Amino acid sequence: MGNREYSGLPDLLTATGDEFIFLIDEWDYIFSHDLFRESQGRFLEFLRNLLKDRPYVALAYMTGVLPIQKYSTGSALNMFDEYTMLNDSFFDDYFGFTEEEVRTLCRKQGKVELREIAEWYNGYNTDDGRKIYNPRSVILALINGKCQSYWTRTGKMDEVLFFLKYNIGEVRDDVVKMVNHMPVRIEINKEYTAGQENPVNKKDIYSAMIIYGLLSYHEGELAIPNQELMIEFENALEDEDFGYVAELVKSQS
């Protein structure tokens, strides 16, 4: 596959003599939903050819769930600075609502108390320990005047059950602890990334679950962050494949 397939748009933009700002939302959609697997490499090459070392690029800003996989120092998109749930001390308070923002919203709405919102949708932290809330769920709870699970699965990579089935023997004891509100200490220093094969060991599984917001991770402690996610884990444990684990959970509850 030659570069000629990707040259049309860059040539056109270069010919204008102008600079452009590129805003790409959910850039990783085909990876997080496991779509067009045979074309994912071509998609990365398209982005590289469009954005890397081009005179017309004033700024490129991409948002998504998954970091970019670093295949090597010559990775297709190695020109980006990345900020993620596992690696950010600058923008991390923008990953959700801060407690002060939630407090202000609760005062304006006047029906749901901050204490209840915190129990259901808090549990994440910035690098320096400030509390972060799930923004979508907070908004829906305030609109509806009721706290409940508003967790939305956006694809198979977003489900508790999907990850737990990969390595149930390895994660069994940890799941029992976390469902019983006991954090698990573990060092996670490798991020699950777009284009990566499905997780094959405990740390890969936990890294993926942190990136997708299914688990919280702060100062070396892994935990189920709130009541909303606890319901997702409890539902996963009702699956017949987890009969033994479910019994362990019940016996310790």
Range of the domain at 135: 92-144
Asked if residue 164 and residue 136 are part of one domain, the reply reads no
Q: Residue 161: its pLDDT value, please?
A: 74
Residue 78 belongs to a domain: no
* E strand residue ranges, the chain: 20-24, 57-62, 97-98, 124-125, 131-133, 184-185, 216-218, 221-223
Which of 144, 174, 204 is the endpoint of a domain? 144
Q: How far apart are CA 153 and CA 236, in angstroms?
A: 13
How many domains are contained in the chain? 3
Asked if residue 244 and residue 173 are part of one domain, the reply reads yes
Residue 251, token pair as written in the block: 């016996």
Residue 69 belongs to a domain: no
CB environment 125-155: b (16+ within 10 A), e (fewer): bbeeeebbbbeebbebbbeeeebebbbeeee
Asked if residue 205 and residue 160 are part of one domain, the reply reads yes
- What would the mean pLDDT of 39-60 be, rounded to a whole number? 91
Asked if residue 167 and residue 135 are part of one domain, the reply reads no
- What would the mean pLDDT of 217-221 be, rounded to a whole number? 88
Asked if residue 163 and residue 138 are part of one domain, the reply reads no
Residue 27 belongs to a domain: yes
Q: Residue 200: its pLDDT value, please?
A: 75
pLDDT exceeds 90 at position 205: no
Q: How far apart are CA 177 and CA 27, in angstroms?
A: 35
Of residues 111 and 78, which shows the higher confidence score? 111
Q: Residue 201: its pLDDT value, please?
A: 83
Q: Residue 68: its pLDDT value, please?
A: 76
pLDDT exceeds 60 at position 2: no
8-state DSSP, 80: -
Residue 87 belongs to a domain: no
Phi, psi dihedral angles at 91 (to 5 degrees): -100, 5
The rounded mean pLDDT for the chain is: 82
Residue 79 belongs to a domain: no
Asked if residue 163 and residue 99 are part of one domain, the reply reads no
Asked if residue 165 and residue 125 are part of one domain, the reply reads no
253 closest CA partner among 220, 236, 230, 223: 230
Residue 36, token pair as written in the block: 């067009």
- What pTM does this model have? 0.74
8-state DSSP, 249: H
Per-residue pLDDT band for 159 (boundaries 50, 70, 90) equals: low
- What would the mean pLDDT of 167-171 be, rounded to a whole number? 77
Residue 115, token pair as written in the block: 């204490």
Residue 238, token pair as written in the block: 């009702």
3-class DSSP state of 186: coil
